[in-house]
Structure formats: structure tokens, C-alpha cells
Amino acid sequence: MSTEVEPTVTFESADPGGRRAPIEFVAARAGDLPVMTGRRDWMEYHDHGVTEATGGRMRAQRTKINNGYSEVTGWHYHVCSVQWIYVVQGWQDLQLEDGTTLHMEVGDSALIPGGYRHNEVGMSHDLDVLEISVPAKMGTVPCEAPSAWAQDGAEHVGV
């Protein structure tokens, strides 16, 4: 019998009071992208200006490995409506809550619903992804491995 609890996903509205700020045009040049604070100190996060232009309804950022260093992220889910990732360079492996591992290479993308548990278990030293989230403010919540990955209290690693 499983006692697994589904994560509850809620997020703040980008439009308090139901008022929507107009969406503004924004263009970003790769060489001018400001570095922003992100979830992991071993990654670089580059802002494309979409958060401000959409009044917080959406975020677009480039996420790159910092100095070739990486580590397993651990099981987690995001507090958002949706997260979309596109591999620009390198590769990464994601363990998914359904018990599968997704290997992503250049040109691959994945749409991850808010609350969907995953674990980044492998990545190249040159990984570079474009990440979009709705809304812009996206929380990250550590969690236990889903039952599909738990066997006698141990987690599976890799495929």
C-alpha cells in the first residue's frame, strides 16, 4: 500500500486584483544577458528580460554549468504552472516520477508540469539550457523519491 502524497502546487498570481499590466516588447542579446541569482550556486543563470516585460507572468533564462562543475540535484518539484526546458548545448539526464530516465541532447525539449517530481542525475560539463516558466516566480521544493524509484528504501541511479 502506497502512502505517497501528491505535491500541491499553488503560486502567487502575477496579476493582483485581476489587473493585467500590458506585455512589453523586449529583445535580448546573448552577449548582454545579465547574470541573476538562481537555485544552484554551481550554475549560471542569464536573464532574458521576459519577467519584467510580462509583468511576472513568464520567465525565460539560460542556465549554464559554471566552470564545468555539476552535481545531482536530488528529487524535487517546482511550484509553478509549467516549466519548459530546451537543450542548447551538451546533454542532461532526468529521472522522472514515472520511473523513467529521460536523456536529453542538443535540440531536445521537455515540458514539466508544476508539481511533477524529477531529479537531474547527470549532465555534461558544458550543459546550456533555455528554461521558460509560467509564472516567472518558480519555487523549488525538495521531496522524497517517488515510489517508482524507491526499492527497499534505496533510490535507483541512472537507467
* 3-state SS record for the chain: CCCCCCCCCCCCCCCHHHCCCCCCCCCCCHHHCCEECCCCCCEEEEECCHHHHCCCCCEEEEEEECCCCCCCCCCEEEECCEEEEEEEECEEEEEECCCCEEEEECCCEEEEECCCCEEEEEECCCCEEEEEEECCCCEEEECCCCCCCEECCEECCCC
Please report whether residue 9 resides in a domain. Answer: no
Q: Is it the case that residue 154 has pLDDT exceeding 60? A: no
How many domains are contained in the chain?
Answer: 1
Count CB-CB contacts under 10 A for residue 135: 22
Lowest mean pLDDT among 47-56, 70-79, 89-98: 70-79
| Cβ atoms < 10 Å from Cβ of 13 | 10
**CATH number for position 138:** 2.60.120.10
Residue 53 lies in a domain: yes
**Per-residue pLDDT at 147:** 93
Q: Average pLDDT for residues 5-16, to the nearest whole number?
A: 50
pLDDT of 18 strictly over 70:
no
Domain membership of residue 80 as a residue range: 32-144
What pLDDT is attached to residue 55?
93
12 is written with which cell numbers? 502567487
pTM: 0.78
Indicate whether 149 belongs to any domain.
no
Residue 69: inside a domain, yes or no? Answer: yes
Above 80 in pLDDT, residue 2? no
Band the pLDDT of 21: cuts 50, 70, 90.
confident
The amino acid at 79: V
96-118 pLDDT, tens digit each: 999 999 999 999 999 999 999 99
In a domain, 16, yes or no: no
Examine residue 23 and state whether it is found in any structural domain, yes or no. no
Residue 57 lies in a domain: yes
All three cell numbers of 45, joined, read: 543563470
Kind of pairing, strands 150-151 and 154-155?
antiparallel
Q: What is the mean pLDDT of residues 130-135?
A: 96
**Amino acid 42: pLDDT:** 65
Q: What does pLDDT average to over the chain?
A: 82
Nearest to 107 by CA among 91, 87, 136: 87
Q: Is residue 88 part of a domain?
A: yes
Extract the C-alpha cell encoding 18.
Answer: 485581476
